[in-house]
Amino acid sequence: MEKKINCLDLKGQHQQIKKEVFEAFEKVYEKTAFSGGPFVEEFEKAFSTFCNVKHTIGVSNGTTALHLAMLALGIGAGDEVIIPANTFIATAWGVSHAGATPVYVDCTADTWEIDITKIEEKITPKTKAIIGVHLYGQPFDIDAVAAICKKHNLKFIEDAAQAQGAYYKNKPIGSFGEMACFSFYPGKNLGACGEAGGITTNSDEYTKHLHSLRNHGSMVRYYHDEIGYNYRMGGLEAASLSIKLKYLNDWNNRRRAIAKRYQSEVKNPKIKMQAQPTWADSVYHLFVVTTDNKEKFVKHLDSKNINAAYHYPVPCHLQKAYAHLGYKKGDFPNSEYLAENCVSLPMYAELTDAEVSHVIEALNSY
């Protein structure tokens, strides 16, 4: 391959739909519906149908979605929320922004998702909720986490930022907890032309509160019932999302096909992949592998014109921002192993079959 193959390349997808998106932008422009408004409402309806859930509340990004979910659940200072140590840091931001404390749990050594057997030992009288993360696009064991929440009277939230369109036991994710939080960051499987996020829920009550919270704590203009936020979704972002949503299942299916090739054609015992339980139908936001010598592996990939990326090189509990919580190296060995050894392979719908074959050959020749 002459051309470098990157982990992600957004250009191909956006060229395909450019005309359609630009026409939609023109409509938003003519209506000057730039913040909230009809284009956001249209996307919210379509996304609710897609997730088989009653409500979607469009917001400014995935981090603000998590923040507002915490606030709508009444979580704040003095409360603890259990989250996996192996996730993108924004899961923890949602908790911290609400004034609560993230309590980390290690991932398993094979699925790399929250270790169900290690959750209950972290529950204290201050624990209010568990946020599970559908990491790399693969659903975690929702029923198991939901059962722990029920037993201990905790709220259950899905961080679905990486998993738009994934299925758990044949049901779309986003409809299982009190709320699910989505990111529509451009690099996600469903990404806006801009920043955006959303919360899905079946609760009318949470929806009403979230509508107020995202809009300055206001239901009636210039009357503010509580301290609110400006976390609205933009009209241009919403218009681009409505168009992309129509293609999402096709794009996800293409990712599934690429993943299937990686899983079946890579025959190299030095390379380990995420274990996939039968109930999880992943959308492969990322395709992460581990090797025991990352430097050497990445050098090899580079020599074959493949750019690797790392998701994520430092687990949440060892980030400087959380040094005050007192975690140390060795607390979560599986998350730490993954952070040290993870490499993300090229994964996006527009990869050609030849490019996928090239990556597979490179992996098999390592």
Ligand X SMILES: *Cc1c(COP(=O)(O)O)cnc(C)c1O
Residue found under tokens 């201050």: 126
Instruction: Pick one of 183, 274, 290, 291: the residue that binds ligand X (CB under 6 A).
Output: 183
Subset of 72-101 contacting ligand X (CB under 6 A): 87-88, 90-91
Subset of 188-247 contacting ligand X (CB under 6 A): 197
The residue (of 183 and 252) whose beta carbon lies closer to ligand X is 183
Instruction: Report which residue's Cβ sits closest to ligand X.
Output: 62
The residue (of 90 and 356) whose beta carbon lies closer to ligand X is 90
The residue (of 196 and 318) whose beta carbon lies closer to ligand X is 196
Answer yes or no: are the C-beta atoms of 232 and 37 closer than 8 Å: no
Site string for ligand X, 105-144 (x = CB under 6 A): ----------------------------x-----------
The residue (of 197 and 235) whose beta carbon lies closer to ligand X is 197
Instruction: Pick one of 44, 55, 57, 62: the residue that binds ligand X (CB under 6 A).
Output: 62
The residue (of 28 and 133) whose beta carbon lies closer to ligand X is 133
- Give the whole-angstrom CA distance, residue 243 versus residue 249: 12
Neighbour-count burial of 260, counting CB atoms closer than 10 A to its CB (0-12 exposed, 13-18 middle, 19+ buried)? exposed
- Give the whole-angstrom CA distance, residue 72 versus residue 180: 12
* Helix, strand or coil, per DSSP, at residue 295: helix
Q: Is the bond into 284 cis (omega within 30 degrees of 0)?
A: no
**357-362 long-range Cβ contacts below 8 angstroms, 24+ apart:** 358/1, 358/5, 358/304, 358/306, 359/5, 359/262, 359/306, 360/261, 360/262, 360/265, 360/266, 361/304, 362/300, 362/301, 362/304, 362/306
The residue (of 81 and 363) whose beta carbon lies closer to ligand X is 81
Instruction: Pick one of 43, 185, 229, 337: the residue that binds ligand X (CB under 6 A).
Output: 185
Instruction: Pick one of 48, 56, 63, 282: the residue that binds ligand X (CB under 6 A).
Output: 63
Answer yes or no: are the C-beta atoms of 84 and 338 closer than 8 Å: no
- Give the whole-angstrom CA distance, residue 273 versus residue 186: 25
The residue (of 88 and 251) whose beta carbon lies closer to ligand X is 88
Closest approach, Cβ 8 to ligand X, in A, equals 13
| Tokens coding 48 | 């609710």
Count residues binding ligand X (CB under 6 A): 14
Under the binding rule (CB under 6 A), the answer on residue 161 touching ligand X is: yes
Quote the DSSP letter at residue 6.
P
Q: Interface residues with ligand X (CB under 6 A)?
A: 61-63, 87-88, 90-91, 133, 159, 161-162, 183, 185, 197
